[in-house]
């Protein structure tokens, strides 16, 4: 074992020498001259603030002030200035006089961008890796409360599914296909250079300068064991050196409603007639004749449904003919779905101040967001504040700190699962035959002593219609709140040891404190039997990242340029929580545990996760034409056993900037052409738990004594899942950068998949964690941006991006693995070699038996030879669901997905839109399953489709005969599998900037008003179903997407 001391001594000596050398270096400047000027925009000659002005061949740089002015000092040997600004073409200018005014042309070209990449920045045009960038401009109009939701349609190869409309909820993101089966396929989020351990919804869109999406090995291998599913780097705004303070104000307010129409339901008359038929049919099955059965149905109907909306004048509202008796009229026509919806108000206001002196820069912001969802009781509130400050203390020491503090409060009533408390699904549970408010037998409202209507909690309703529950009735009384306080701290120091050699050290913490409070009132609804209940939980998590990186940039001769990065990083995540619940409240209106008399549970736990890493990177370029990069990272993780704890990750990449070649330099119409390729390995250790190798026995105390029960089989050899990524791409810019694009092909191979291998339940365990199998994603993706029209007054830009991949399982430990289990409804997928992770494997609907109305599914027919070997000979049908065979029925994964955007600018007005689209793939509509029972769920909402049920007069249909006993027709089958192709207008914004003379008259720099809409239009083949569902293509009664229309203003002074 080496001792730390020895190493420290050796290092100490080396550092002293380096430091001394650097001091000599600094003394070498002499004979300066000052150059100044104004930088303006080529199109309209307006001054451009914030342009970075650098002296070529040196590190010196300033930025232009609010009037576009700059002053810079050149050394005697220096004669060229480089002007760069995001969104504009970089310009080099040989200094000919002391006043040097410059015009910059708008880039319309993402290739010239500086992109934030792993542990540094890179020039997009020469970067060897695959990175896509989303800039502040593309985020500013979005009326969504988590940045994860604004990436959809903007980044090629990024599949984002906002599977819940709940304000503040995050979208599921998949980059370049599915990299894992059981371990997480989610990308790593990095905030201001460091892996982020908080909630992404705590960061305001307006604080974000750019989002870089790293997709290949060259880009993300430096994140080693966490980079396998891609990396999303969020960089927050910074001030600019030498700029006066600028204040930016953003405010918007809008209204949110349901984004698309719900399913159609039966009305009360139809419901009663159909349920009569279900009862009648069941009686026939029990052996009664038609007359007896009809009589029974008429007599028992109201009793079976436990309600009679036709009033006491019609005790048997449906006659022996199965029709509503003449004269009967439903005394109420309530609508549960409607009554649980509202117009949600969304309000956002933010202020930012940024500026900088010669050696320090700052960005300070504060914001407020109140996003109320369209479902009663749902909402998200956020208060956020940020200070980003960087300073250059002297020539050799720089320091910076980013501190963001925010507090969020989310009210999210239950909104997924088949649970009765699910607000999004309640209207699909409780049919509209039941009144929302209590009614008198004559249909009038029952009023309480204050003359108010009284919510009808329906203790009389059958179980299938949420007995004793009225979510509207107790929405105001109950509580589903989660509050979160977070502090994101990024602190770094940089020592400029020698010219080109820097030591960067940083310490970073993500601190999150969560408090969940849910309360069910004792007086009404589901809390009634336990006299109310409350559960409260608190958790604290702190992720700490410490790293030290040496960065050395140097040239050998004129053509060989090097950058070497080497360093070390430690990451620890500590999370600790406690929770408790009590019930039995003695009082209404008190919702804290202190007021409840019975302790139900109290528990607490903590977890620790540690990662230690060493990393290095080499970038080399020859004459700014040929670029090579190599990176390496070694990670040790506490998740695995000492024997398999360490893993190595690496990448190699190369790019060729063809336009730098002499033979292409003179082609006018070709502005840029870069070809690049990379290969490398990243890892994935995220299989959920933190203790993935031991045999574990869960502590399961019982009756006040210690208890244990088996929970996990040992897997000492368990290790990383690794991803081998190949990427090759071409970037081009043509016709004065008016046509730019990128096209890439890739292959991602995941091996040693972290897998929960299913075991036979008779072994006492249903699964064991294992490294088995491999996956492959082959795909391509691209992006094209065109500016078809550009005149002095009008500019039209158009962008299109697309991604395609094929996911294929290349190796499995066993012939097949059934997966994709959905709650109580069974499995939906099967994994086989050659198939994909999300191939539906379900029963195949064969329609309704025209002779008896029974549902039919397919099953195999066999012949058995002499040796007892069975051979499938064909298919036949069966009306017994369990006998039906399962078949592959296509994949949930789309063929092509991406976005289309366009921007029209006429003088001061601007119109932009963004469509996201997804073509191909299947979706299994389990929401429809809920409302498609054959009569076995009395009182549950019924789809209008039931009107076409089988009857002897209507034998050819796909809705079977009604019956009060289950027939399984609404079990999982292709009956409910649909094409998932859709397109959605994610955003449409119309804005107008007030003319400069007006604006400056009131002392402003800029004043813009805008109207914007989110999810205004959904193009999809199914009514009622939200096409944006989970990546696996299975719906589960989620909060549907919401549409938000808002007005905003944006001003700066």
Positions in 32-91 near another protein (CB under 8 A): none
Task: Give the separation between CA 792 and CA 801, rounded to whole angstroms.
Answer: 28
Q: Does 637 bind another protein (CB under 8 A)?
A: yes
Instruction: Compare residues 275 and 1007 and give the one whose CB is closer to another protein.
Output: 275
Q: Does 560 bind another protein (CB under 8 A)?
A: no
- Shortest Å, Cβ 708 to another protein: 4
- Shortest Å, Cβ 16 to another protein: 8
Task: Give the residue from 964, 966, 932, 936 showing the smallest Cα distance to 949.
Answer: 932
Q: Does 555 bind another protein (CB under 8 A)?
A: no
Total number of residues that touch another protein (CB under 8 A) = 102
Stretch that binds another protein, among 176-184, 228-236, 604-612, 900-908 (CB under 8 A): 604-612
Which residue carries 């702190």 as its tokens?
A: 542
Q: Could you report how far apart the first and last alpha carbons of the chain are, in Å? A: 61
Tell me the per-residue interface mask from 786 to 825 with another protein, x by CB under 8 A, - otherwise: ------------------------------x-x-----x-
Task: Give the residue from 41, 100, 91, 31 showing the smallest Cα distance to 70.
Answer: 100
Instruction: Compare residues 394 and 791 and give the one whose CB is closer to another protein.
Output: 394
Q: Does 606 bind another protein (CB under 8 A)?
A: yes
Q: Does 496 bind another protein (CB under 8 A)?
A: no
Task: From residue 956, give the alpha-carbon distance in Å to each of 846, 934, 949.
Answer: 12, 16, 9
Pair of tokens at residue 801: 């991006």
Pair of tokens at residue 1031: 């990546």
Q: Does 570 bind another protein (CB under 8 A)?
A: yes
- Shortest Å, Cβ 614 to another protein: 8
Neighbours of 749 (CB within 10 A): 18
Task: Give the residue from 1050, 1053, 1052 showing the smallest Cα distance to 992.
Answer: 1050
Q: Does 759 bind another protein (CB under 8 A)?
A: yes
Tell me which residues in 659-688 interact with another protein (CB under 8 A): none
- Shortest Å, Cβ 219 to another protein: 25
Task: Give the separation between CA 496 and CA 397, rounded to whole angstroms.
Answer: 6
Stretch that binds another protein, among 37-45, 187-195, 690-698, 902-910 (CB under 8 A): 690-698
- Shortest Å, Cβ 639 to another protein: 9
Task: Give the separation between CA 60 and CA 74, rounded to whole angstroms.
Answer: 9
Tell me which residues in 913-952 interact with another protein (CB under 8 A): 938-939
Stretch that binds another protein, among 44-52, 166-174, 527-535, 983-991 (CB under 8 A): 527-535
Tell me the per-residue interface mask from 870 to 909 with another protein, x by CB under 8 A, - otherwise: ----------xxx---------------------------
Task: Give the separation between CA 484 and CA 494, rounded to whole angstroms.
Answer: 33
Q: Does 21 bind another protein (CB under 8 A)?
A: no
Pair of tokens at residue 863: 């012949």
- Which position among 31, 760, 851, 864 is part of the footprint of another protein (CB under 8 A)? 760
Task: Give the separation between CA 226 and CA 381, rounded to whole angstroms.
Answer: 31
- Shortest Å, Cβ 522 to another protein: 12
Q: Does 568 bind another protein (CB under 8 A)?
A: yes
Stretch that binds another protein, among 57-65, 213-221, 283-291, 982-990 (CB under 8 A): 283-291
Instruction: Compare residues 428 and 1008 and give the one whose CB is closer to another protein.
Output: 428
Pair of tokens at residue 580: 């408790």
Stretch that binds another protein, among 26-34, 167-175, 298-306, 918-926 (CB under 8 A): 298-306
Stretch that binds another protein, among 120-128, 187-195, 702-710, 889-897 (CB under 8 A): 702-710
- Which position among 249, 329, 618, 768 is part of the footprint of another protein (CB under 8 A)? 768
Counting Cβ atoms within 10 Å, is residue 12 exposed (0-12), middle (13-18) or buried (19+)? exposed
Instruction: Compare residues 344 and 414 and give the one whose CB is closer to another protein.
Output: 414
Q: Does 490 bind another protein (CB under 8 A)?
A: no
Tell me which residues in 236-255 interact with another protein (CB under 8 A): none
Coil, helix or strand for 277? Answer: helix
- Shortest Å, Cβ 245 to another protein: 30
Stretch that binds another protein, among 210-218, 280-288, 897-905, 990-998 (CB under 8 A): 280-288
- Shortest Å, Cβ 405 to another protein: 26
- Which position among 61, 120, 491, 636 is part of the footprint of another protein (CB under 8 A)? 636
Chain-centre distance of CA 517, in angstroms?
25
Q: Does 833 bind another protein (CB under 8 A)?
A: no
Q: Does 1003 bind another protein (CB under 8 A)?
A: no
Q: Does 4 bind another protein (CB under 8 A)?
A: yes
Task: From residue 109, give the alpha-carbon distance in Å to each of 105, 382, 786, 800.
Answer: 11, 35, 9, 14
- Which position among 445, 765, 796, 888 is part of the footprint of another protein (CB under 8 A)? 765
Contact 249, 1049 (CB under 8 A): yes
Task: Give the residue from 932, 982, 980, 920 showing the smallest Cα distance to 958.
Answer: 932
Instruction: Compare residues 86 and 884 and give the one whose CB is closer to another protein.
Output: 884
Contact 595, 565 (CB under 8 A): no
Tell me the per-residue interface mask from 156 to 195 with another protein, x by CB under 8 A, - otherwise: ----------------------------------------
Task: Give the residue from 966, 941, 15, 22 showing the smallest Cα distance to 465.
Answer: 941
Q: What sign does the CA torsion over 661, 665, 667, 670 have?
A: positive
Q: Does 705 bind another protein (CB under 8 A)?
A: yes
Contact 1009, 992 (CB under 8 A): yes
Q: What sign does the CA torsion over 654, 225, 147, 204 have?
A: negative
Task: Give the separation between CA 732 and CA 294, rounded to whole angstroms.
Answer: 75
Q: Does 306 bind another protein (CB under 8 A)?
A: yes
Q: Does 645 bind another protein (CB under 8 A)?
A: yes
- Shortest Å, Cβ 759 to another protein: 6
- Which position among 92, 335, 338, 607 is part of the footprint of another protein (CB under 8 A)? 607
Tell me which residues in 340-369 interact with another protein (CB under 8 A): none
Q: Does 312 bind another protein (CB under 8 A)?
A: no
Q: Does 694 bind another protein (CB under 8 A)?
A: yes
Q: What phi, psi does 23 have (nearest 5°)?
A: -65, -40
Q: What phi, psi does 391 have (nearest 5°)?
A: -140, 150
Tell me which residues in 710-729 interact with another protein (CB under 8 A): 710-715
Q: What sign does the CA torsion over 406, 411, 414, 416 have?
A: negative
b/e per residue 383-415 (b: at least 16 CB within 10 A): bbebebbbebeeebebebebebbbbbbbbbbbb
Task: From residue 397, give the alpha-carbon distance in Å to each of 78, 361, 496, 898.
Answer: 24, 15, 6, 45
Stretch that binds another protein, among 181-189, 352-360, 659-667, 755-763 (CB under 8 A): 755-763
Task: Give the separation between CA 178 and CA 889, rounded to whole angstroms.
Answer: 19
Tell me which residues in 374-413 interact with another protein (CB under 8 A): 397
Q: Does 851 bind another protein (CB under 8 A)?
A: no
Pair of tokens at residue 998: 């007006």
- Shortest Å, Cβ 768 to another protein: 6
């Amino acid at each position: 074992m080496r001792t730390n001391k020895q190493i420290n001594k050796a290092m100490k000596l080396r550092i002293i020498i380096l430091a001394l050398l650097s001091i000599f270096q600094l003394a070498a400047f002499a004979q300066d001259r000052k150059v100044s000027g104004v930088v303006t925009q080529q199109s309209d000659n307006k001054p451009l603030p914030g342009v970075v002005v650098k002296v070529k061949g040196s590190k010196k740089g300033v930025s232009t002030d609010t009037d576009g002015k700059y002053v810079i000092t050149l050394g005697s040997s220096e004669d060229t200035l480089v002007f760069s600004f995001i969104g504009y073409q970089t310009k080099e200018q040989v200094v000919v006089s002391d006043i040097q005014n410059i015009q910059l042309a708008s880039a319309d070209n993402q290739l010239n961008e500086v992109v934030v990449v792993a542990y540094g920045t890179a020039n997009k045009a020469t970067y060897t890796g695959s990175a896509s960038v989303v800039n502040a401009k593309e985020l500013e109009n979005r009326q969504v409360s988590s940045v994860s939701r604004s990436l959809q349609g903007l980044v090629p190869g990024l599949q984002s599914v906002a599977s819940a409309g709940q304000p503040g909820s995050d979208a599921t993101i998949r980059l370049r296909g599915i990299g894992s089966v059981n371990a997480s396929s989610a990308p790593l989020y990095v905030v201001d250079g460091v892996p982020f351990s908080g909630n992404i919804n705590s960061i305001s869109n307006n604080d974000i300068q750019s989002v870089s999406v790293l997709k290949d090995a060259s880009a993300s291998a430096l994140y080693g064991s966490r980079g396998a599913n891609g990396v999303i780097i969020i960089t927050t705004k910074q001030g600019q050196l030498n700029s006066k303070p600028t204040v930016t104000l953003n405010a918007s307010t809008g209204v949110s409603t349901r984004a698309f129409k719900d399913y159609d339901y039966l009305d009360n008359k139809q419901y009663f007639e159909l349920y009569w038929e279900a009862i009648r049919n069941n009686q026939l099955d029990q052996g009664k004749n038609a007359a007896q059965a009809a009589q029974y149905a008429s007599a028992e109907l109201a009793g079976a449904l436990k309600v009679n909306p036709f009033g006491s004048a019609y005790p048997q509202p449906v006659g022996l003919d199965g029709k509503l008796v003449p004269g009967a009229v439903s005394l109420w026509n309530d609508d549960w779905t409607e009554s649980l919806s509202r117009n949600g108000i969304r309000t956002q206001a933010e202020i930012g101040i940024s500026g900088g002196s010669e050696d320090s820069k700052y960005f300070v912001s504060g914001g407020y967001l109140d996003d109320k969802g369209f479902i009663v009781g749902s909402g998200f509130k956020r208060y956020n504040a940020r200070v980003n400050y960087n300073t250059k203390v002297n020539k050799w020491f720089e320091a910076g700190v980013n501190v963001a503090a925010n507090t969020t409060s989310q009210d999210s009533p239950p909104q997924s699962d088949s649970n009765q408390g699910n607000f999004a699904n309640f209207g699909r549970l409780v049919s509209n035959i039941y009144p929302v408010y209590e009614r008198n037998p004559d249909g009038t409202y029952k009023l309480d002593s204050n003359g108010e209507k009284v919510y009808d909690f329906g203790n009389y309703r059958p179980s299938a219609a949420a007995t004793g529950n009225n979510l509207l009735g107790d929405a105001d009384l109950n509580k589903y709140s989660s509050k979160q306080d977070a502090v994101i701290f990024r602190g770094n120091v940089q020592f400029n040891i020698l010219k080109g050699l820097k030591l960067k050290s940083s310490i970073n913490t993500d601190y999150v404190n969560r408090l969940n409070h849910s309360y069910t009132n004792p007086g009404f609804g589901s809390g009634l039997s336990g006299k109310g209940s409350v559960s409260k939980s608190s958790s604290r998590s702190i992720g700490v990242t410490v790293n030290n990186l040496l960065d050395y940039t140097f040239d050998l001769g004129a053509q060989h340029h090097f950058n070497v990065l080497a360093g070390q990083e430690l990451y620890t995540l500590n999370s600790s929580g406690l929770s408790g619940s009590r019930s039995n409240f003695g009082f209404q209106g008190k919702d804290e545990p202190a007021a409840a008399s019975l302790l139900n549970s109290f528990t607490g736990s903590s977890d620790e996760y540690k990662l230690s890493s060493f990393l290095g990177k080499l970038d080399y370029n020859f004459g700014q034409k040929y670029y090579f990069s190599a990176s390496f990272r070694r990670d040790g993780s506490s998740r695995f056993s000492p024997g398999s704890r360490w893993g190595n990750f690496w990448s190699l990449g190369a790019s060729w900037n063809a336009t730098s070649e002499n033979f292409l330099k003179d082609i006018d119409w070709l502005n840029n052409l870069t070809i690049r390729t990379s290969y490398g390995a990243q890892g994935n250790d995220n299989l959920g738990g933190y203790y993935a190798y031991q045999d574990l026995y869960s502590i399961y105390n019982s009756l006040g004594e210690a208890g244990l029960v088996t929970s996990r089989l040992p897997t000492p050899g368990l290790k990383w899942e690794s991803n081998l990524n190949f990427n090759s791409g071409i970037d081009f810019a043509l016709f004065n950068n008016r046509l730019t694009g990128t096209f890439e092909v890739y292959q991602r191979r995941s091996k040693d998949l972290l897998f929960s291998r299913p075991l036979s339940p008779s072994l006492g365990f249903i699964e064991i964690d294992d490294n088995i199998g491999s996956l492959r994603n082959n795909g391509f993706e691209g992006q094209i941006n065109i500016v078809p029209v550009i005149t002095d007054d009008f500019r039209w830009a158009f962008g299109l991006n697309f991604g395609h991949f094929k996911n294929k399982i290349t190796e499995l430990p066993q012939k097949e693995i059934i997966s994709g289990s959905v709650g109580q409804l069974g499995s939906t997928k099967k994994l086989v070699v050659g198939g994909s992770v999300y191939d539906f494997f379900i029963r195949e609907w064969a329609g309704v038996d025209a002779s008896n109305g029974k549902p039919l599914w397919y099953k195999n027919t066999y012949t058995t030879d002499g040796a007892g070997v069975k051979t499938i000979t064909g298919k036949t049908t069966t009306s017994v669901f369990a006998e039906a065979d399962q078949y592959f029925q296509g994949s949930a994964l789309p063929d092509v997905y991406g976005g289309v955007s366009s921007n029209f600018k006429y003088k001061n007005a601007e119109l932009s839109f963004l469509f996201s689209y997804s073509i191909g793939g299947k979706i299994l509509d389990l929401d429809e399953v809920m409302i498609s029972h054959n009569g076995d769920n009395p009182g549950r909402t019924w789809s209008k489709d039931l009107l076409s049920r089988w009857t002897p007069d209507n034998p050819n249909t796909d809705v079977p005969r009604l019956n009060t006993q289950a027939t399984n027709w609404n079990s999982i089958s292709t009956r409910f599998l649909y094409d998932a192709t859709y397109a959605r207008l994610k955003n449409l914004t119309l804005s107008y900037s007030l003319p400069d003379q007006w604006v400056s008259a009131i002392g402003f720099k800029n004043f813009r008003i805008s109207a914007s809409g989110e999810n205004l239009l959904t193009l999809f083949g199914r009514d009622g179903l939200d096409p944006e569902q989970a990546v696996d293509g299975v719906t589960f009664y989620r909060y549907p997407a919401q549409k938000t229309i808002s007005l905003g203003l944006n001003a700066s002074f």
